Structure formats: C-alpha cells, structure tokens
Structure 1
Amino acid sequence: MESSFVVIVAIGIASLFGLWIILYFIPVGLWFSALLSGVRISLIQLVFMRWRKVPPSVIVTAMINATKAGLTITRDELEAHYLAGGRVKLVVNALISADKANIPLNFKAATAIDLAGRDVFEAVQMSVNPKVINTPPVAAVAKDGIQLIAKARVTVRANIRQLVGGAGEETILARVGEGVVSSIGSADSHKSVLENPDSISKVVLSKGLDSGTAFEILSIDIADIDVGKNIGAQLQMDQANADKNIAQAKAEERRAMAVANEQEMKAKAQEARAKVIEAEAEIPKAIADSFRSGNLGVMDYYKFQNIQADTRMRDSIAEPQQKPKQGPKGTDSPLK
C-alpha cells in the first residue's frame, strides 16, 4: 500500500511538472487573451517565440495595446525590434501617444529613436508638453565695464525628426549661454540691459540656436539678472598697479646704476690718489740725487722746508676749528 501511494504521488508530481512545461511553452492563457482582444496569433507562433528567446507576454501585450489603439503593427516587426535590443513597450506607448496627439510618427522612426538610446515615449510627451530648462548663472561684461549675471529659462519642444543624430540639452545650454554673453557684451551700458532684459531674448532667439539639435526652442526668458563687479575699474586698477611696478623697477634700475657709477668714480679717485702718493714718494729721491750732483744746496733745501711749513700752517688755519669734546658732566675734556 505504501509503495503504491508513493508511486501515485510521484506520478502526480510528474504530471504537474509536465503540465507546467506544456503551459510554459504553450501559453494558452496568453493566446486566449489575444484572441479575445482581436489579435490573431497561433499557439505555434507563441511556442516559436519561446525557442527564439522572445518573451511572448511582451509581444502579445504590445500587439493588444496597439490593436486597441487602432494601430497596425505586425508580430515580426515587434520581434525584430526586441531581438535588436529595443524597448517594445516604450515604442508602442510612444506610437499610441503620437497618434492621439496627431504627431507624425511611424514605427520605423520610433524604433530608430529607441535604438539610438533616446526615450521615444518621453520625446513624444515633450512634444505635447514642452519642457523648461533652467540655465546656470551666466556672467558677462557690458561695454562700460560692469559685470552682469543672468539666469534664463529656455522652453523647448522635442523635434521628432531630429532625435536621431541631434544634439542634446547640453548643446542648448551652451548656445544660450554664448548668446547671452554676446548680447550683454554688445550693449553700450549695463543700464540699458537692466531696463530691457527682453533684448537679450530677442538677440538669442534670432540666432537659430536650435539648429542641428533634437529640440525646438519656443522661448527664452530672462528669469533673473544681477549686477556683479566693476570689471572695467578693476582692470584699470590692475593696469595702474602694473605700470607703478614697472616704474619702480626702472627707478630702482637707475638708482643701482647711479650707485655703481659712484663706486666706480670712488675707485678711480683712489687710483689717482695712489698715483699722487707714488709720485710724491719720488721727491725725496730726486732731492737726494740733486744733493749728490750739486744742483741743490743746503740753503735751497731749507727754503723748501720753510715753504712746506708755511703751506701746512695755511691749511690748518683754513680748516674749521673742531669743537672740544664734552666730558661726563658737561666739562671740556682736555685735548691730548
């Protein structure tokens, strides 16, 4: 009895497992749902999807949604897009939204956008509801040297025809920032920009910044504009400081040259004085030679000594008298 009970349990488990295998490869419930929704697909095709590693639920659900929305999409197209790595559900939802919004979008273009890595469903939604992009603060300087810091809000709409190969939001932000800088830089005064901020929007919009991008710019609004630094005055101050430093360097150069010339003249004076001393040293030798040769007598020598003494006396009289040095208590210290 026990062995027969075990056999019955084993047969039941094997039957359940076999039924699960059959239902897995032959999704009868999914086929029945498709049949009730008006989607014609056979059980054999569902089995083949399993063998091709394509989930039948994804394909059948997409076909049901498309059929209910009035779109005609074949099973082979959906399978090919899935096998290519596409997102079938997003593509079908995008096609349904585009059809309801009267946006021209076919299956081939939608799959190309999806395979390019862009969210085609979000792009369709952005075509219906434009998106607002806030630019970071853009600093620019007017012709009068005053810096202005502006923030803009760019309203864009997705351009379905240029989603493949078109530039993204970063390019839009870069171009708008460049347009704001050039518009403020061409203004004669920062006051005119503060009075008419819309002049920036008009100039930027006239440049066609959305060419070659995946978006269409609807409007550019200046949300905020602030006054920054006085760049012109700062540049003038920096230039004045640079000129001052250059002038100081040149003056220091001239002073150094003057000091060098002074030292050179002192050296030349010392050299000349050394030559004079050297020449004076020859005088006693000449006098001795004159005595030996008889050209100079004793009286002549005495007269020469008297003349030298008179000259030293006149020099001492001509020099200013030195003040006597004061002692510790204000008394004159004795001259030594």
Structure 2
Amino acid sequence: MGEGIGLIVIIFAGIIGFFVFLYFVPVGLWITARFSNVKVGLFELVLMRVRKVPPSVVVNSLITATKAGLQLSTKELETHYLAGGHVPSVIKALISADKANINLEFKQATAIDLAGRDVFEAVQISVNPKVITTPKVAAVAADGIQLIAVARVTVRANIQQLVGGAGEDTILARVGEGIVTSIGSAQTHKEVLENPDKISKLVLQRGLDAGTAFEILSIDIADVDVGTNIGAKLQTDQASADLKVAEAKAEERRAMAVAEEQEMKAKAQEAKAKVIEAEAEVPKAMAEAFRSGNLGIMDYYKMENIQADTDMRESISKPGSSSSRKKDK
C-alpha cells in the first residue's frame, strides 16, 4: 500500500516537473523558430524567461520580421520590450513602412514607440492621409458680420518629426487662428461667402505644419454660416451706454439746480428775517424820535398817509385785483 502511494507521488511530481521544464525551456517555440529559419538558442529562451521576457512575443515577432525580409536580432527586440515598448506594433510598423518604400529604421521606430505614439498608426497615416475636422470657428469680417466656418484638414504623418513634434490639437489651433485672421482681413462678409477658397489659400501660405508631427496636404472649407451682426450689436451697446451717461449728467444738473434753488430760498428766508428784524426796530426808533422831539405828531400823520397811499397803489397794480380789472376794461 505504501509503495503504491509513493509511486503515485513520484508520477505526480514527475508531471509537475515536466510542465515546469516546458515552461522554462519552451522546446516547442524553439522548434518553430528553427523551422522558420530564425536562429535562436534554447538556452537563450530560458534566459528570456528568467529575465521575465515572454519568449513567444520576441520569437513570434522575430519570425514575422524574418519572413518580411527584415534583419533583426532577439537582443534588439528583448531590449525594446524591457524598455517598456510594444514589440509587435514596432514590427508591424517596420513591415508596413518597408512595403510602402518609407525610410524607417528600427531605432527610429522604437524611439517613436517609447515616446508614447502609435508607430504603426503613424505609418498608416503616412501611407493613407488622415482628414481632421475642425470645430466651428467664429470670426468677424470688417463690416461687423460674424461668420462661422468649419474646415477639413488633410494631413499626412511626418515620420521624421514624430518624436518631439506637436500633435493634432496644435494643427487644429493653428488652422482656427488662420481662419479667424483670413475672415477678419476681408472687407465684407460677402467676399468670404463668394470665395471661401481664399481662406484655404491664405491659411496654407502660413506654413501651419512647422514643428508638428504632420504635413498638411490641403485645407478645405466645408461650411460657412452667417452669425450675428456684431457691428450693429456693438453700436447698440454703445448707444445704450451713451444714453446712460447722458441721463447721469442730466440727473447731476437737476440735482445742482435743486441745490441752487434751495440755497436761494435759504438766502431769501435769511433776507426776510433781516427785514422783519429791521421793521421791528422802526417803532422803537419812532418812539425815540417822539421823546427827543425830532418827530412831531403832524409829521407822523403825514408819513402814515404817504404809507397808506403807497399800499393802495401797490394793491391796485397787482394782477387780479378789482381795480386792475376795471382799468383793463
């Protein structure tokens, strides 16, 4: 019984050891590489496993590159994988560039891949240009009419400037700036509507693809719509602002006039008070004149008659009095 259990353990351990051996020594992958004319040693595959590099990724990529006529080594592919690159994507990009007669070296492809760009997609865009549609760009012509334009930009990847070159966002921003400048330089919005291709020509002349990872092939204006009348709106706003300023100045003048009127009333009240005060001194002066003998009784009656006559004349001369109405009749 004990011998049977021991035999089962030995067999089980042998099976596990066999699979462990196949894991560290990928014999099947080595045989595939040999039949594909790829020179890779069995011990080299074991070392890849130890360095935590998937042998299948390196060997299969090397087989694909060899079948396409590319001369690469396992060391180069392994180094790129350890640097964090995408080996299959680089191999596909190199094969695609070779078939399209595009000069792309392995080091350049790996640099593009490690820079964070999809090198295979870049080669595809270099072979088949890509169309980028700009968002709606609003600009104002010299006559104050707003125009809203949409452009389609056809670009081709510039392999030589993929590392360090600006991306699509820069292209869109520069094209939008060029559209705004072109519309703003037009005398009237009708000129733009009649010949939208002028925008394309002016924008292309500015060399907007300098320092970018793309080469602009063409800029086509897809749509131009008329927006609001910015000039009229600005004039309306200016008129409204001028009206408010005028109203403020008028209110200031009215306030000053009211203040002056109040000041005049205050002065009149002050003068009236002085007159009343002076009139109050008259009886005192007359009494003093009687006591001193400077004023007689006849002089007093004569003065009273003169005052009465003066009051009567003033009453007659006032508008609305009965004597005045009889005189007018």
TM over 0.5: yes
Q: Report Cα offsets for 1:205-253 as digits up to 9, x if no partner.
A: 0110000000000110000000111111111111122222222222222
Q: Does 1:153 align with 2:123?
A: no
Aligned counterpart, 1:217: 216
**CA separation in 1, counterparts of 2:314 and 2:5?**
149
Aligned counterpart, 1:107: 106
Q: Report Cα offsets for 1:132-182 as digits up to 9, x if no partner.
A: 100000001111111110000000010000000000000000000000000
Aligned counterpart, 1:288: 287
Taking structure 2 as the reference length, the TM-score comes to 0.95
Equivalent residues in 2 for 1:1-336, closer than 5 Å = 1=1, 3-321=2-320
Runs of 4+ deviating beyond 4 Å: 320-323
How far has the Cα of 1:316 moved from its partner?
A: 3.4
**CA separation in 2, counterparts of 1:72 and 1:148?**
56
Ranges in structure 1 where 5+ consecutive residues have no aligned partner: 324-336
Higher mean C-alpha displacement, 3-12 vs 30-39: 3-12
How far has the Cα of 1:321 moved from its partner?
A: 4.9
**CA separation in 2, counterparts of 1:320 and 1:121?**
108
How far has the Cα of 1:72 moved from its partner?
A: 0.5
- Verify the 8 A CA contact 2:315 2:321 in the aligned structure 1: no
SS state of the match for residue 182, structure 1?
helix
**CA separation in 1, counterparts of 2:4 and 2:317?**
152
SS state of the match for residue 211, structure 2?
coil
Ranges in structure 2 where 5+ consecutive residues have no aligned partner: 323-329
Aligned counterpart, 2:326: none
Number of aligned residue pairs: 322
SS state of the match for residue 175, structure 2?
helix
**CA separation in 2, counterparts of 1:107 and 1:76?**
13
- Verify the 8 A CA contact 2:25 2:46 in the aligned structure 1: yes
Taking structure 1 as the reference length, the TM-score comes to 0.93
**CA separation in 2, counterparts of 1:9 and 1:166?**
65
**CA separation in 2, counterparts of 1:138 and 1:319?**
79
Percent of aligned pairs sharing the same letter: 72
SS state of the match for residue 155, structure 2?
strand
SS state of the match for residue 254, structure 2?
helix
